[in-house]
Amino acid sequence: MNETLRVIRSRRSIRKFRPEQIAEHELEAIVESALFAPSAMNAQPWHFTVIQDKHVLDRMAQLMKENMLKSGNEFMVRRASDPGFSPFYGAPTLILISADAKDRFGQFDCAAAAQNIALAAESLGVGSCIMAMTSLLFASQEGVELARSLGVPDGYDHVCAVALGYKDGPAPAVLPRRRDVVNYVK
C-alpha cells in the first residue's frame, strides 16, 4: 500500500492529547497543507486561526461549556455538565476554520482543508480531531466578540475546528466500514 493510502487508513479522531506543544516545523507543514486543499474556482474562501495560547484555549473551553449548557440540547447539556469534559480534549493547538459567508462553496472548501490538516498531521505523527460542535463556541455575544478578538475576519462564519497534539496513548481501533453505501454504474 502506498504512503498516502496508509495515512488515510491510519488516521483516527484523537480525544486525548499530551500537554506538550507540537513542533513549529510540524505546525507549519500542517497549516501549509490546508492552503493546498481543493477550492471551488480556486476562491480559497477560508480563514485559519491557529491558537496555541493555553490561557486563550482555557477561556474558549469555558465559554463553549457555558454555551453548551444554554443550548437546550439535552446531549450537549449532559456533556458540558460532566466535570471531566474538555471540549478540545486537552489539545495544545486548535485551528479554527472559517468561511467567507458570501461564498456558496465555502463550507465544502473548508471541509477539504480540515481533512488535509488531519491527514498531514497523521503523516507527521501528530493526532487530530475535526470538530463541528465548536460552532457552539460562537453562539453568544461573547463568542462573537471572541471571534473578532482572535482575528476572524468580518463576514466569515465558523465551519469547524481541528484539535492537534501528540497522542496520549494508542489511537482508537478501526471500526468496521459500511460497504452498502457504494454502488457502481459502469
Q: Which of 29, 28, 34, 11 is nearest to 113 (CA)?
A: 34
Alpha-carbon span 164 to 102, nearest angstrom: 29
**Hey, where are the domains in the chain?**
21-165
Phi and psi of 28, rounded to 5°?
Answer: -65, -40
Fold adopted by 21-165: NADH Oxidase (3.40.109)
Report the pLDDT value the prediction gives residue 1, as an integer from 0 to 100: 87
DSSP 51-115: E--HHHHHHHHHHHHHHHHTS--HHHHHHHHSTT--TTTT-SEEEEEEEETT-TTHHHHHHHHHH
Which DSSP symbol is given to 36? Answer: T
> Given the C-alpha cell 491527514, which residue does it identify?
119
Alpha-carbon span 62 to 58, nearest angstrom: 6
Report the pLDDT value the prediction gives residue 139, as an integer from 0 to 100: 85
Report the pLDDT value the prediction gives residue 159, as an integer from 0 to 100: 97
| Local confidence pLDDT in tens for the 186 residues of the chain | 899 999 999 999 999 999 999 999 999 999 999 999 999 999 999 999 999 999 999 999 999 999 999 999 999 999 999 999 999 999 999 999 999 999 999 999 999 999 999 999 999 999 999 999 999 898 889 989 999 999 999 999 999 999 999 999 998 898 999 999 999 999
Residues 6+ away with beta carbon under 8 Å from 21 = 52, 92, 93, 165
